[in-house]
Structures are given as structure tokens and as C-alpha cells.
Amino acid sequence: MRIFIAGFQHETNTFAPTKADWAAFEAGSAFPPYRRGQAIIDAYRGLTLAVSGFIDHAEERGWTLVPSAWAGAVPSAHVTQDAFERIAAAIDEDLQAALAMGDVDAVYLDLHGAAVAEHLEDPEGELLSRVRARVGAAVPIVASLDLHANVTRQMLEVADALVAYRTYPHVDTADTGRLAARLLERRLARGFKEQMAVRRLSFLLSLNAQCTMMAPADAVYDTLKSLEARHDCVLSFAMGFPAADIAECGPVVWGYGGEADTAVQALFDRADQPRSQWVLDILTPEAAVAEALALAADASRPVVIADTQDNSGAGGDSNTTGMLRALLARKAGEWLPGRVAIGLLFDPAAAAAAHAAGEGAQLELTLGKSVPTWGGQFSDPPVQVHAVVRKLSDGKVVMKGPMGRGSKVSLGPSACLEVDGVLVVVSSQKTQMLDREFYRYVGIEPEDMKILVNKSSVHFRADFTPIASTILVAKAAGPMAVDPADLPWTRLPPSMALRP
């Protein structure tokens, strides 16, 4: 079989301050950089990406892969029209060339599902439609999606099969690529698109509530698996990305084959009721630090605080100062000198100043940035500090946690700064704190800390839960709303509730 493969990954927070231009996709940052052709297979084989799982399965089956383009950029505001059209044009050009050289038996796309472009509410649906127009109705198209996908009617109607991750933190990405390959085999064996059933929930889910390491999401996905086995179907539950101001934002349940109608209804019922199961316990920055200090006094392992609204994995820039201010105001570093750490703070200027001064130097710095959030509001102002440069790094990190084991990340010139006893990790590239190596690369052993403040919403839990005594979630001002009801929506239909 000849399988055409390509990828487009972006999670769009339409309320965020920074857009994803072409340079963002070329750099990749937390994603691999833009690649085209055979380089996709050579670079992504065996990694923890959905496309990697598909490649591995395809090569085990002896399929011939026809690689096109794969592009991913860190979550942000809209994908620029220029960036999307460059990516789409590359895929279309390669698809035309592949069709001219012979049959294309199927198409696999590695998509996120929650992208929004400057000129398109549903760029993934548009991309699927352009591919469909090229290959015709008879060629199967399958795609893998992120668990946070905002799945649209166009996406479901155009594709033969879509399948979403089932874990958050996303530790099953490669498994999902393999599942997409098996769905393709199932589709080809039958010779027709299987019966599909779909239900859309009528309320938005906070990202923090979507964590599958805790209730209720863990039980919902357990139900998904048992329903699949009972009803001979393949199910997905995409919980949605609740910061995309589009008409079809929100959670969707769908499935293919067997008794899909019955299974989808049962899974919908489990997720829909009681809605109180999705309610979160969120703290102010000051309350989170106060509780962490009280708990840390007797804890043998670190207390971890999620600085969730500055998550660069959801549209933030990892540069707000609300949690740092709360740590300093509560004198956390004086109570626990050298055993309180916060990261990653994206501040290239501070990192450059630290490198110019050298390890051991003392300097006056401005840390962080005040950024627009929503409704005309801004995050906390920058912090003027006296800092000691404890450790410098070139920013080259090999991840060891479950989210990206073996992946190489370049965070640029970085430093560990000590500010009134608090250790601050500053980097020159932004990515969320989802791997313990993001502390170790500047000399901080996370297991030895009493309090860790992670600029992340949920992904950090995969690598930090094993060492945490307690995990708290704090609501410091930032671009990613922990509560969707805080956002000034304009495109959601009146039937969509902003809270469960």
C-alpha cells in the first residue's frame, strides 16, 4: 500500500497575545521543527508523536509511506494566514506529485484539531477538505487528533475516521498513531466508511478538569474502553480546547462501527452527568503559597503548584509574575532558603544578562512581563529584583519524563537565579514545565525542593506526580483562563454553557 502522510499541529487560544507565524512553525520549539519529505520518517521514527506511532505500524506492515510536510508550533493565538497557506500548499503540491506518480491508497494526517487561523475557524476541516478534493471519495482519509480537539462537523464528515488521544497528560500519542493505522486497516478491509455516531456536550470543560490522572476523567475513559469491547466499535472523546472562540468549540463524543450509536450515547451520558463532577478547586496565588508553606513544613516530598494561567502549552508566554510575586510577598525563600523554585520563566533579556555577568555574579534585574489577558486586563507587572546567578546553561536538554522521553529540546541561554532565597529558572525559549530535566539543566534537583511552582496546567503531572506530596492549582493572572466563563466569548452558540 502507498500511504500519503502529513501533519499540522497547533492549539489556538484566540484570546492569547502572540500569533503563530511561519517562523514559529519553522522553529517548532516544543514541537520538532518544520520538516518535509523523507526527513519526516527519518526524524520521527520511534518518537512519542502520533505520526511516529503511525510510521512504526506502517513499516511493520510493509506499507510504502509517501511523506509530505509536518508542521507544529507551540500553542498561541491564531495561526497566520501566511503560515497556514504555506503548510497547506506544501501538502497539496506533494499530494499532486504523489498522485501523478501512481495510486495513493490512503491518506493519514497527524492533526491537533483545535487550530484557528486568521482567515479560517476550522483550518483542519479545510485541510481535510482540500485533501479530499484531490484524492476523491474512494480513497480513505484517517487522522489522529489531540484530546483537546474542537471536533467540527466538517472534520467528521470529510474524514473516513478520526481518533483522539485518551490521556492528559498526553502519554499515548504514539499509541494513537498506531490506532489510526488500525482504523485505516479496518476501513480498507470493509471497503466503505463505517457507521458513525456523534454527540456534542453542551458545556465547556476547563483544561485542569480534563486531567485523566484523576476523577472524573479517569473513570470516563475507563468507561470508553469497556464500551468499545462490549459494542465492537472504536470510540473517541475529545474534551475540547476551551479558549478557542469559534462556533464549534467544546467536547465531542464519537465512534465508528458495531453498535456505535449505543456506545456513544452511553459514553455521552457518563460524561454529561452529574455535571458537578467537573467542578474544580482553584486557589489564589497568595492562598496557594500559604497552603504550600504550611504543607511543606511536614512533607518529605515537594509541594507542587500549577501556575496554570501562564501555561505556554495553552497560549501563554510563560512570562507572567503573579506566582513569583506571591512567593516573594510570603517570604517563601526566607522560610525555605534555596528550596523553593519556579520555572520556566521565559525571559531572554534576563537570561542574557545572567550570561554576561557570569556564575556567582549579583545583579539588578527586571523579571517577567505584563501581558494582555482579556477584557482589557493585564497580568501583574514585571518584578524588580536583586539576583544571584547560581547556574548557567546553553539550554540543550534531553527530556526523560513520560511526555517526551528521548526528545531533544533547545531552551536557549538559560540561568538559575536566586532571588530572596527563591530559585527562578529563566530561559530564552518558551515551553511549559513538563519534565524534571527542565529544572536539572540549571542545577536544581526537583526532588530536593520543598515547593515547586510549575508554569503548566496538567502536562507536568506525568513527571512530577511521582515526587509530589501535594499538587495545588493557582489562578495567577495570565492568558489561559482556568475558568472559561472568565473569557469574553463572541462566537459560541447560546446553547453552550461556559461551565458544567
Q: What is the 3-state secondary structure (H, E, C) of the chain?
A: CEEEEEEEECEECCCCCCCECHHHHHHCCCCCCCEECHHHHHHHCCCCCHHHHHHHHHHHHCCEEEEEEEEECCCECCECHHHHHHHHHHHHHHHHHHHHHCCCCEEEEEECCECCECCCCCHHHHHHHHHHHHHCCCCCEEEEECCCCCCCHHHHHHCCEEEECCCCCCCCHHHHHHHHHHHHHHHHHHCCCCCEEEEECCECCCHHHHCCCCCCHHHHHHHHHHHHHHHCCEEEEECCCCCCCCCCCCCEEEEECCCHHHHHHHHHHHHHCCHHHHCCCCECHHHHHHHHHHHHCCCCCCEEEEEHHHCHHHCCCCCCCHHHHHHHHCCHHHHCCCCEEEEEEECHHHHHHHHHHCCCCEEEEEECCCCECCCCCECCCCEEEEEEEEEEECCEEECCCCCCCCCEEECCCEEEEEECCEEEEEECCCCCCCCCHHHHCCCCCHHHCCEEEECCCCCCHHHHHHHCCEEEEECCCCCCCCCHHHCCCCCCCCCCECCC
At 61 the pLDDT is 97
pLDDT, tens digit only, all 500 positions of the chain: 999 999 999 999 999 989 999 999 998 877 888 999 999 999 999 888 999 999 999 999 999 999 999 999 999 999 999 999 999 999 999 999 999 998 899 999 999 999 999 999 999 999 999 999 999 999 999 999 999 999 999 999 999 999 999 999 999 999 999 999 999 999 999 898 999 999 999 999 999 999 999 999 999 999 999 999 999 999 999 999 999 999 999 999 999 998 999 999 999 999 999 999 999 999 999 999 999 999 999 999 999 999 999 999 999 999 999 999 999 999 999 999 999 999 999 999 999 999 999 999 999 999 999 999 988 899 999 999 999 999 999 999 999 999 888 888 899 999 999 999 999 999 999 999 999 999 999 999 999 999 999 999 999 999 999 999 999 999 999 999 999 999 999 999 999 999 99
Determine the pLDDT at residue 464: 98
Task: Identify the pLDDT of residue 296.
Answer: 97
All domains in the chain, ordered by first residue: 2-275 (3.40.50.2300), 285-483 (no CATH)
**pLDDT of 31:** 82
Q: Which strands form 362-367's sheet, in the order they lie side by side?
A: 362-367, 383-393, 414-419, 422-427, 340-346, 451-454, 303-307, 470-474
C-alpha cell at 28: 517548532
Residue 491 is predicted with a pLDDT of: 97
User: How far is CA 201 from each of CA 67, 151, 228, 470, 496, rounded to the nearest angstrom?
Assistant: 36, 12, 20, 31, 8
